[in-house]
Structure 1
Amino acid sequence: MATRAGYEDRADLGNVEPEDILSPRHYAAVRRGGRLMRSLPLWCYTSERFWEAEKERIFLRSWNLIEREEIVPKAGDYHSMSFLGVPMIVVRGKDEKVRVFANTCRHRGAMLATGSGNCKAFRCPYHFWSYGLDGRFIGAPNYNDPEGRPLIDGTNKEEFGLAEIESGTWGGFIFIRFKEGPQTLEQHLGAFVESLASHKLEDMACARKVVYEMDANWKCFVENYIDAYHIPYVHKDSLAQWKSKEAVLVPSRGQEYVVFVRHDEGSQLLLPFPGYDGFPPMPQIDPDRTKGTYFVTLRPGMMMTLGNDGALLFQSEPISAKKSRLTVSSLFPKSYFGREDFERLSQNYYRRNDIVVVEDKDIALRQFAGIQSPYARIARLCSQETDVQGLANWIVDQVVTPETGETIAAE
């Protein structure tokens, strides 16, 4: 017999958001363990107010992956893009350092660049203000006061350089943060630095990138990636066919989650079926890591499946409460690109992704569509969903915990 549920029942953890949405009392259930484990209330996926709090307290202050260094391989190369709606320019300077600048002129705010290219300096198309590759102000033609005196001279020139966004690199990845946060990039990466070192991600390059515009909250795909419960069902004819021997969790000390899954020969970047032959293991990998696959996340929105032959990178970028952008990149060692069989073998990896990743993408969309129902409720989590609750608690810690840093006690 079907259960008669209340329409928009506020007392039953539905998606109707409370007025005091950031009050700790609404998240007491998230703090419970054992048989009472729960994930976030459903309004955390649909509320624009909750998303604005996430943006301010998580994304603006956290290190966010935006791209690979290879998008600007040579001095003078630039690449324009946006993240969280902020237009930016990624540029490699004459000193070979990669920097990220706000893509806005310091005069009247016009965008300096579009697309990608190579240049010796940036010149605003509006009034021809110019800037060096390191962001320093170069000049502004005819920028004088009514008496003909220059408005910018040696006394104030330093004030007019481009606004630089704090950035850092690791493993060939470029990270940014918009506001000062509690951790350096290395502290944020935690165990990534040594655990993934022998895979030499900095020596890889992106061979294929697929972007999905998602009608779903950013957390839906992230939660799905760390949810072990769905694998035998959503991936019953694909990823679930891999038989693992054990999973070894690496202790976390930053915003990372690292687990190494041991299995027999092969790579989980492929499927264990005939016709899915792939590249040999990279020779430099630590011997005890050649038979297995890393599954890692870096909060808030980076995930990566790291095999002995390459990596599959996921980026879940929020657009609004109900929209996100999922970018999926296939990375391989640069040395593989020169192989005669690269095009043929790489197709097997893409074929795998077009099955497994699409299964994950589609279920995330389906989940989000369902939780918008006025009858939607959240149930308790099972033992295979403990990582989902871990993420929920981390989000509550960032968004709901009082600014004083006091711990929220479960009611």
Structure 2
Amino acid sequence: MRAHLLNDAFFDGLSTSMEGFETAETLPPACYVDAGFYEFEKEAVFNHEWLCVGRESWVMTPGDYFTTSIIGEPIVVARTRKNELVAMSSVCQHRAMLVAEGHGNTRGFVCPYHHWTYGLDGKLVNAPAMEQTCGFDKKKVALPRFKVEVWLGFVFVNFDLDAAPLAPRLTEIEAALAGYDLSHAEGPRPDPAAKLPWNWKVMFENNNDGYHASRLHQGPLHDFVPSAQSVFPEAAEGAAGYLRFNGTLHPDASFNVTQKALLPVFPKLTEVDRSRMTFANIPPTLSLVVTSDMVIYLIVRADGPETHEMDTGLLFAPGAMQDPAFEHKLAMNMAAASAIIAQDLHVDGLVQAGLRSRFAIRGRYSWQEGAQIAFNRWLTPRYQQTWKAMSADARPRAEVPA
């Protein structure tokens, strides 16, 4: 970001994005395109927030592991021989080679470069030909560990070892999703992540935008969930996420040509659950699109000012995948979902192009964009508080109030 833009006036001006939709403004375009702002955002958001990295079902057996990355930080999640779930940097503490790729089951992590070997808990257990290196003690070497927490079957990590727990700040979202029993929902491991050429916030906003739905997606694949039936519950103070509900024209609506659930409905749903779609959001990484018979989860992983990667996964009611016709029914759902997703991806790319323009401004909101206000209210205080702290640290000591 140009130095003269990263100043008190810029961050004070973000407050208008937290107002009600009647008066609120969108975030400044620079928040989506500027490399300097992205570097600031790493500290303001990603270095201290809980980041979703996958599902606990991917690491159920001792020795299981998977890898991922967020803001360029390589991460490995593993199940130790003591059945402990751990999350660590996958960067070898010798010459920075990555010690793990992909996913699988292993006895430990061997750096392929020089064969330094780490246990599943990240501790260094072998370092060849280091006996003549002065002061080297392998007991003092380990892969850096992160905080880890499991919520409704999703694995979250936090680079900040002093971070407060996540679950107590998601009670409202957990209550809204109770009927889906997501801890026990089943689904395949997602396909390799898509690399998408737009800012992570563009993706997060699109996932939760009720305003565009009846317009961009107009037609038989989406008309059963009209934008006019969007509802935006007020998030509690300090909440780690927010909700959007969207009423449907009939119960058990689903994305396929029949507009009705084809797969088994989650068995614990209430009548209210079955008469709406639920959108649950735990920024900056996890967004859920929830219907009666299928949950689409999106793990959004920022990796640059104008790029991110996204893991797209599916969850179903227990036993649903055992139906001999499961793949055929799912194909009908995915044909509709894929058509809608393609429309979203097309406009997201065009939004990013527009945000680069000199003519991009801070726009205004419709009442059907309540989820964007909720996102701003989660995000903007983190920007402002971090800027305030950084500014105080940068001031000469004599100017800092006692």
- Report TM bin, short chain: 0.7 to 0.9
1:202 aligns with 2:183: yes
SS at 1:191 equivalent = helix
Tell me the equivalent position of 1:177. Answer: 158
Tell me the equivalent position of 2:241. Answer: 256
Tell me the CA shift for residue 324 of structure 1.
1.7
Tell me the equivalent position of 1:223. Answer: 205
1:279-326, Cα deviation, whole Å (9 max, x unpaired) = 131223345423332111111232101222220111222121111223
1:189 aligns with 2:170: yes
SS at 1:111 equivalent = coil
1:106 aligns with 2:93: yes
SS at 1:184 equivalent = coil
Tell me the equivalent position of 1:396. Answer: 380
SS at 1:249 equivalent = coil
1:46-105, Cα deviation, whole Å (9 max, x unpaired) = 111111111111011100111112222321122233222112222111222321121122
Tell me the CA shift for residue 339 of structure 1.
0.8
1:213 aligns with 2:195: yes
SS at 1:192 equivalent = helix
Shift in CA distance, 334/96, structure 1 to aligned 2, threshold 3 Å: farther
Deviates more, 1:188-197 or 1:328-337: 188-197
Shift in CA distance, 380/128, structure 1 to aligned 2, threshold 3 Å: closer
1:77 aligns with 2:64: yes
Match of residue 166, structure 1, among 141, 147, 152: 147
1:269–1:311 Cα contact (<8 Å) kept = no
1:277–1:345 Cα contact (<8 Å) kept = no
User: Quick one: which amino acid aligns to residue 242 of structure 1?
Assistant: V
2-side partners of 1:141 and 1:150: how far apart? Answer: 15
Tell me the CA shift for residue 32 of structure 1.
4.8
1:304 aligns with 2:266: no
Shift in CA distance, 170/285, structure 1 to aligned 2, threshold 3 Å: same
Tell me the CA shift for residue 128 of structure 1.
3.1
User: Quick one: which amino acid aligns to residue 189 of structure 1?
Assistant: L
Shift in CA distance, 245/221, structure 1 to aligned 2, threshold 3 Å: closer
TM-score (norm 2): 0.85
1:144–1:150 Cα contact (<8 Å) kept = no
Number of residue pairs the alignment of both structures matches: 384
Q: How does 1:211-360 map to 2 (within 5 A)?
A: 211-237=193-219, 238-242=221-225, 247=231, 249=233, 251-252=235-236, 254-263=239-248, 265-271=250-256, 273-274=257-258, 278-286=262-270, 288-360=272-344
2:67–2:76 Cα contact (<8 Å) kept = yes
Shift in CA distance, 348/266, structure 1 to aligned 2, threshold 3 Å: farther
SS at 2:233 equivalent = strand
Tell me the CA shift for residue 33 of structure 1.
4.3
User: Quick one: which amino acid aligns to residue 24 of structure 2?
Assistant: M
User: Quick one: which amino acid aligns to residue 243 of structure 2?
Assistant: V
**Percent identity over paired residues:** 22
Query: Any unmatched runs of 5+ in structure 2?
Result: 392-402
2-side partners of 1:277 and 1:36: how far apart? Answer: 39
SS at 1:209 equivalent = coil
1:247-272, Cα deviation, whole Å (9 max, x unpaired) = 4737435211123444355544414x
1:120 aligns with 2:107: yes
2-side partners of 1:375 and 1:193: how far apart? Answer: 41
2-side partners of 1:70 and 1:338: how far apart? Answer: 17
SS at 1:66 equivalent = strand
Tell me the CA shift for residue 392 of structure 1.
2.6
1:189–1:255 Cα contact (<8 Å) kept = yes
Tell me the equivalent position of 2:78. Answer: 91
2-side partners of 1:270 and 1:372: how far apart? Answer: 34
User: Quick one: which amino acid aligns to residue 263 of structure 1?
Assistant: T
Shift in CA distance, 389/135, structure 1 to aligned 2, threshold 3 Å: same
1-side partners of 2:84 and 2:270: how far apart? Answer: 30
Match of residue 135, structure 1, among 110, 116, 122: 122
1:53 aligns with 2:40: yes
1:207–1:332 Cα contact (<8 Å) kept = no
- Which of 1 and 2 has greater Rg? 1
TM-score (norm 1): 0.83
